[in-house]
Amino acid sequence: MATHEEQIIAASAKHPIVPVENGYQYGTAGFRMKADLLDGITFRVGLLASLRSRKVDSQTVGVMITASHNPAQDNGVKIVDPTGDMLEQSWEKFATQLVNAKSDQELAQRYTALAKENKIDLDVPARVIYGRDTRPSGHTLVAALNAALDATNTTYVDYKILTTPQLHYLVRATNTEGRPDSYGEVSEAGYYKKLSDAFVRCMKHKKVDGPLVVDCANGVGGPKLSEFLKYIPKDKVDFDVQVVNDNIIRPELLNLDCGADFVKTKQRAPPVPKPEVGVRHCSLDGDADRLIYWWLDPELAERGGFVMLDGDRISTLAAQFIKDLMDRAGLNKQEDDRQKLRIGVVQTAYANGASTKHIKQYLKLPVVCTPTGVKHLHHAARDFDIGVYFEANGHGTVLFSHQALSTFKDTQPQSPAQKDALDTLLALSDLINQTVGDAISDMLLVEVILAHKVWSLRDWVMTYSDLPNRLFRVEVANKDLFRTTDAERRLSHPEGCQQEIDIEVKKYTDARAFARASGTENAMRVYAEAATRMEADELCDRVAHIIHRWGA
Ligand code: G16
């Protein structure tokens, strides 16, 4: 019988790695690049997934094949840990090590060495489940993944096309099946049932106001949202949703002039289908983990008619709503501070300065800033009993600690209002995806809050005024020259570059700007905000020039 190493060498020969000058890095969301570079990488990620499963007592690990907001020709691959969270960060370097092995032999040796270093028994069972978005390249990459799983005697289930958050759900549901903390039925239908049931509970005696048009970026969110809508009982909630930009038959349309990333970065409505003035819209991204709300409002002339409610807005809306519910449930009255549930908000450097000020000064909640990447925000959110985290790009969720859940369950209500608040808090904890940011679940959360508050999008946007801001993408010869510090708010390298940015920022009112290398695209990102639209645009332009020059 062939040894582990022999099996890997034979299989790997059919999935060669394409060497690149600076090697590959497990980035913001795993490995992400042009799909034709990914065959060998996906094979090697499969090897790591099997090691990870064996390391964590044969629990099921997930692999998601997606490039989310990136163009159609890209793809990506990332690992989901047994809890449904992103891969533990200390393991990212192992992924990088395997992927950068120069030959099949070196790969097999590194695999065995990793097993030895991490005290992994290669003879215990390994279990992996996986899914992919609608990109055609997903088919081939799945074949590479299967080859690695076969070569390592790993049991696997192919869930085929899924949104990224559905895969995260399934991983957690699989590992908690039959336990008191079961996360839900282990199937795609189980995911829909859980969300629909929680949505109905949250919407008791409430009404959704008018239609909602959902732009699905021509990605996996389209068919999955349409499927989910069938689960909502019409006699319980009248939810009028129009699903648009859901063409997955023509893959080249994915994320093209539509979707959450387009809306957020271009700060305008997708041209197709022509949006109707005044109607509530939202946009998902290519794998349905980001969400942005928007509408056309000619009366808000200073915004050019297009008004956007991004991740910062969802975050402030959710934090305020949950805080108010906790007040109504009498949970903020504890005399002893140690018994109080702690709510906090996690943001990144991209958060609009006005949102941070609003959370601190008006909501009176603590704010933590982390580097970009939901994995960082998710981790920081765990430090709170109720951790609200959203990136400005619309990626995020709200995490509830065990302590919070048992308080919601065990508190004896003294009035019908208090009971209502406790029931809603519990229903929210089922509605909100606890594993990762989930556009469909977040959209339901927003709809619930608007219905409870009887708010329009205009009411929501009036809670505070955003500082005008701009986000640019700058292509440079080598983005690795740029390194950041202070949660990505400053550049430490190349030396001297940050000083030039500082000089520009000082010239504008209430201004802030930063630059960082993208972890999902081969480019630099530049963000600027200032007191006026003109100043924000001009500052962004100037910083982009600085980056362009230093990166040449
Ligand atoms: C991924 C990450 C997000 C991150 C985004 C952009 O999103 O999951 O946390 O904000 O990439 O990252 P970067 O600026 O490093 O390119 P998605 O929706 O593309 O998976």
Instruction: Give domain limits for the chain.
Output: 4-161, 191-306, 311-438+447-461, 469-550
> Rounded to whole angstroms, how far apart are CA atoms 294 and 278?
10
Residue pair 290/377 in contact (Cβ under 8 Å)? The answer is: no
- Residue 200 Cα to ligand 1 midpoint, Å, equals 31
| Ligand 1 within 6 A of CB of 290 | yes
Q: Which of 68, 137, 355, 441 is catalytic?
A: 68
Given ligand 1 and candidates 285, 393, 480, which is best to mutate, with the most ligand atoms within 8 Å of its CB? 393
Hey, what CATH class is 4-161 in?
alpha beta
Residue nearest to atom 2 of ligand 1 (CA): 373
Q: Which residue type occupies 102? A: K
* Beta carbons within 8 Å of 496's beta carbon, 6+ residues apart: none
Does 520 count as an annotated binding residue? Answer: yes
Compute how many other C-beta atoms are within 10 angstroms of the C-beta atom of residue 250.
Answer: 10
Q: Which two tokens stand for residue 273?
A: 């289908």
Closest atom of ligand 1 to CA, residue 375: 9
Residue 327 has φ and ψ, to the nearest 5°, of -60, -50
Query: Ligand 1 within 6 A of 28 CB?
Result: yes
Taking the centre of ligand 1 as the mean of its atom positions, its distance from the CA of residue 351, in whole angstroms, is 14
Ligand 1 binding pocket includes 488 (Cβ within 6 Å): no
Q: Is residue 372 in contact with ligand 1, taking CB distance under 6 Å?
A: yes
Give the pLDDT score at 302.
61
Residue 445: closest CA among 431, 435, 459: 431
Q: Closest ligand 1 atom, CA of 286?
A: 18
Helix axes 104-117, 39-55, angle to 10 degrees: 20
Atom 10 of ligand 1, residue of closest alpha carbon: 373
289 is in an annotated binding site: yes
Q: What is the spatial distance between Cα 10 and Cα 331, in angstroms, rounded to a whole number?
A: 60
State the CATH architecture for 191-306: 3-Layer(aba) Sandwich (3.40)
Rounded to the nearest whole angstrom, what is the distance from the C-alpha of residue 471 to the centroid of ligand 1?
Answer: 14
- Two tokens, residue 440: 């469909």
Beta bridge partners of residue 513, listed in sequence order: 528
CA of 114 to the centre of ligand 1 (A): 28
Which atom of ligand 1 sits closest to the CA of residue 374? 9
Q: How many angstroms separate the CA atoms of 321 and 289, rounded?
A: 22
What is the structure's pLDDT at 256?
A: 98
Residue nearest to atom 4 of ligand 1 (CA): 373
Q: How far apart are the C-alpha atoms of 545 and 394, rounded to whole Å?
A: 27
Q: What is the pLDDT along the chain (552 residues), one digit of tens a residue?
A: 689 999 999 999 999 999 998 899 998 899 999 999 999 999 999 999 999 999 999 999 999 999 999 999 999 999 999 999 999 999 999 999 999 999 999 999 999 999 999 999 999 999 999 999 999 999 999 999 999 999 999 999 999 999 999 999 999 999 999 999 999 999 999 999 999 999 999 999 999 999 999 999 999 999 999 999 999 999 999 999 999 999 999 999 999 999 999 999 999 999 999 999 999 999 999 999 999 999 999 888 665 699 999 999 999 999 999 999 999 999 877 665 656 899 999 999 999 999 999 999 999 999 999 999 999 999 999 999 999 999 999 999 999 999 999 999 999 999 999 999 999 999 999 999 999 999 999 999 999 999 999 999 999 999 999 999 999 999 999 999 999 999 999 999 999 999 999 999 999 999 999 999 998 888 999 999 999 999 999 999 999 999 999 998
pLDDT attached to residue 334: 64
**DSSP tag of 27:** B
Whether 4-161 and 191-306 share one fold: the answer is yes
Nearest CA to ligand 1 atom 14: 518
CATH number (1.20.1250.20, 3.40.50.1100, 3.30.310.50, 3.40.50.2020) of 469-550 reads: 3.30.310.50
pLDDT of residue 340: 85
In this structure, what token pair is assigned to residue 195? 């969300």
> Which protein residue's CA is at the shortest distance from atom 3 of ligand 1?
373
Is 150 assigned a ligand-binding role in the annotation?
no
Q: Using a 6 Å cutoff on CB, does residue 147 contact ligand 1?
A: no
Residue 325 C-alpha to ligand 1 middle, in angstroms?
A: 31
- pTM metric for this prediction: 0.96
Q: Which one-letter amino acid corresponds to residue 75? A: N
Residue 64 CA to residue 45 CA, distance in Å, equals 10
Is 68 among the residues known to form the active site?
yes
Q: Does ligand 1 lie within 6 Å of residue 261's CB atom?
A: no
Distance 451 CA to ligand 1 centre (A): 30
> Measured from the CB, is residue 397 less than 6 Å from ligand 1?
no
Residue 251 identity: P
Topology at the third CATH level for domain 311-438+447-461: Alpha-D-Glucose-1,6-Bisphosphate; Chain A, domain 3 (3.40.120)
CA distance 505 to 511: 6
What is the number of helices (H) and of strands (E) in the chain? 18, 19
What is the position in ligand 1's atom list of the atom closest to the CA of 517?
15
Q: What is the pLDDT of residue 2?
A: 80
CA atoms within 13 A on the CB side of 150: 10
**Is 516 labelled as part of a ligand binding site?**
yes
Euclidean distance between CA atoms 103 and 38, whole angstroms: 16
Rounded CA separation 529/527 (Å): 7
Q: Does residue 285 line the site of ligand 1, with CB under 6 A?
A: yes
Q: Which amino acid, one-letter code, is at 316?
A: T
